[in-house]
Amino acid sequence: MAKVLINGYGSIGKRVADAVSKQKDMEVIGVTKTKPDFEAKMAVDKGYKLYAAIPERKSLFEEKGVDIEGTIFDVIEDADIVVDCAPGGIGKENLENIYKKYNVKAILQGGEKAQYVEDNFNALWSYDRCYGKDYIRTVSCNTTGLCRTLYAINSATDIVKARVVLIRRGADPNDAKRGPINAIVPNPPTIPSHHGPDVCSVVPELEGKIITSAVIVPTTLMHMHSLMVETTGTTKDDIIDAIEKTPRIFTVSAEDGLNSTATIIEFARDLGRVRYDLNEIAIWKESINVVDNEVFLMQAVHQESDVIPENVDCIRAMLQMEDDNMKSIEMTNKAMGLMK
């Protein structure tokens, strides 16, 4: 059993903790919080051992009567790997100040820069490269969504160049600090946006071939991507077939009422998914088209949950628990109840 410590039990951390707990070959030995809020209390209620991420804050938990086992430094030496789920930028500090000092393997999240780590993870593209490594980043929600779909297209044909417009959610549903609420914001205002280079951190073969631009809109449910991918030649049927064969992406039909991110999330709710998570990328079937060897499609990405199964596979790769990425994907999917 691999012993996993989750450092930062927020939107991503609590989902990774639950996904790891469901696997047969790994267990959560603890989760950390910086403050004794409702998430900390619920973590304890769920049976997770809770530790203070910042030692000086341990007394805050005790004052509030929240059961705390100690600080991160009381548990870190028992961990085979830490999944860092702290806010963007803090993961790098934790890497330098804690993980490297304690010589423990660590996974950082997409809010960190690609160059801080040995390599960048997506289960389809870079499992083998990350196998046995010590410090890896699972890429962001947008990059994960793009990597999966580009993998499908690449399995049907050769990619000459890719152009992507990303329409990004303004805030997560639990976030009262961010916006916009009445605008569409080019973000970043420069083209290319950072998303293309981020895809290249996983797929170096696309270096110089992918250009992305992004805007932020007032919605919380999902991101949406519009892809235009020039290839050496393919057909619409081949692309649909490749999507069907690729794990963690699937087609939805506007004709069935799945005509917006709102109804796609309703679909996830009706599936009974916890926190209405849709870990798979939904591609609108009607949007898939091929014109003059150029593939067009639109997809929806559930920002809070698509990276979760990737973190589980990344643990297996880094701890050399399974050398076949497709077998790890299958194990993770089965345990989490994913469609494919």
Rounded Cα–Cα distance for residues 139 and 127 (Å):
13
Distances from the Cα of 305 to the Cα of 15, 30, 123, 276, angstroms: 7, 21, 15, 9
**Span near ligand NAD by CB under 6 A; candidates 88-96, 126-134, 291-299, 311-319:** 88-96
Residue 169 annotated as binding site: yes
Residue 49 is given by DSSP the state P
Neighbouring C-beta atoms of residue 3, cutoff 10 Å: 15
| Residue 338 Cβ vs ligand NAD, minimum distance, rounded to whole Å | 17
| Residue 73 Cβ vs ligand NAD, minimum distance, rounded to whole Å | 12
Of the candidates 128, 126, 133, the one whose C-alpha atom is nearest the C-alpha of residue 148 is: 126
Rounded Cα–Cα distance for residues 317 and 87 (Å):
24
Residue 253 annotated as binding site: no
**β-strands 281-284, 249-252 pairing:** parallel
Encoded amino acid at 48, one letter = Y
| Residue 107 Cβ vs ligand NAD, minimum distance, rounded to whole Å | 11
Residue from 87, 173, 233, 257 in contact with ligand NAD (CB under 6 A): 87
Site for ligand NAD in 93-112 (CB under 6 A): 94, 109-112
Encoded amino acid at 154, one letter = N
**Span near ligand NAD by CB under 6 A; candidates 3-11, 22-30, 127-135, 310-318:** 3-11
Residue 328 annotated as binding site: no
Rounded Cα–Cα distance for residues 77 and 230 (Å):
49
| Residue 285 Cβ vs ligand NAD, minimum distance, rounded to whole Å | 25
Q: Which tokens go with 294?
A: 């150029």
Q: Site for ligand NAD (CB under 6 A): how many residues?
A: 29
Of 94 and 325, the one with the shorter C-beta distance to ligand NAD is 94
Q: Does 5 bind ligand NAD (CB under 6 A)?
A: no
Residue 23 annotated as binding site: no
Residue from 66, 76, 82, 86 in contact with ligand NAD (CB under 6 A): 86
Residue from 80, 198, 304, 322 in contact with ligand NAD (CB under 6 A): 304
Is there a contact between 81 and 4 (Cβ–Cβ < 8 Å)? yes
Contacts of 210 (CB under 8 A, 6+ apart): 161, 162, 163, 164, 196, 199, 200
Residue 211 annotated as binding site: no
Site for ligand NAD in 206-265 (CB under 6 A): none
Helix/strand/coil for 295? strand
Site for ligand NAD in 6-65 (CB under 6 A): 7-13, 32-34, 53-54
85, 130, 141, 147: which one is catalytic? Answer: 141
User: Catalytic annotation on 141?
Assistant: yes
Phi, psi of 186 (to 5 degrees): -60, 120
Catalytic residues: 141
| Residue ranges binding ligand NAD (CB under 6 A) | 7-13, 32-34, 53-54, 85-88, 90-91, 94, 109-112, 140-141, 172, 303-304, 307
